[in-house]
Amino acid sequence: MPVTAWQSDCENLAYPVERRIRDGRALLLHTHQRQLGDEKILHRHPEGQIWAVQQGLVTADLGSGSWILPQGRIGWIPPGMPHAASVVRAASGWMAYLRADLCAAFPAKPAVFASTAFSQALLEKIARWDDVQALLSGPQERLLAVLLDELMASQAEPMYLPIPRHAGLRQIAMCLTETPGDQRTVAE
């Protein structure tokens, strides 16, 4: 589908998540397990999104291309950015939605970063918080600030795969993305 059609399809979609940041809380964070073939519909949301893939492989389709998130990587989607996700290999890790005003220091475009043992430990600790309230305690604020500093200090990795705009070429590119070991020739 051409990028302009893909983007216009997103105009009226509501984000299909059960919980939203409605009360001023800084973030929602939860662990996730996704199976091969799990896909999310095209959507956008007012929060920034951080995916930390501990195991597996996830792709984020952004219309003009896909960001590849293999294990040990953290993906960043800015607030309001239309995207959809696909699980290429069963995946587990953390998903965090970050209040929009806390996203200003992050890149304005999606990015993929290497995770560190430290950032993973911080995510594990934050995921054990019972429920993040609108007002964080002092220690929670400091842990969140350290996590954000750790993520912002990471170097973005070249994990972007541009997708052609031409429908036929886009279909071929998507097939190759799904089965990168395909041995067919260009003519085939």
CATH number of 3-178: 2.60.120.280
CB atoms within 10 A of CB 44: 19
Query: Could you report the per-residue pLDDT of 18-57, keeping only the tens digit for each?
Result: 455 666 778 777 777 777 766 777 888 888 998 888 888 8
Query: Could you report the per-residue pLDDT of 69-126, keeping only the tens digit for each?
Result: 888 889 999 998 888 888 888 888 888 888 888 898 888 888 888 888 999 899 888 8
What DSSP string describes 54-97? EEEEEEEE-SSEEEEEETTEEEEE-TT--BEEEEEEEEEEEEEE
Give the global pTM: 0.74
